[in-house]
Amino acid sequence: MLKYLLASAVSVAGALTFPASIQAEPINFRATLLVSCIIVVTDGALAPNGDYTLLSSENTGGLPATATVTALGGAPRLTFTAPTITSSADVTGVTPQIRYVSPGGANQPYTSSQTTYNQSGLLGTYTVNAQASKPTGFNVGTYTIGTVLTCSG
pLDDT at 6: 46
User: Domains in the chain, ordered, with CATH?
Assistant: 36-152 (2.60.40)
User: Rounded to an integer, what distance in angstroms lies between the CA atom of residue 88 and that of residue 145?
Assistant: 12
> What does the chain come to in residues?
153
Instruction: Compute CA 15 distance to the chain's CA centroid, rounded to the nearest angstrom.
Output: 67
pLDDT at 47: 98
Q: What is the CA radius of gyration of the chain?
A: 34
Q: Give this prediction's pTM.
A: 0.79
Give me the tens of pLDDT residue by residue for the chain, a chain 153 residues long. Answer: 545 544 455 555 555 666 778 899 999 998 877 889 999 999 999 999 999 999 999 999 999 999 999 999 899 999 999 999 999 999 999 999 999 999 999 999 999 999 999 999 999 999 999 999 999 999 999 999 999 999 998
**What is the edge-to-edge ordering of all strands in the sheet holding 77-80?**
115-118, 77-80, 149-152
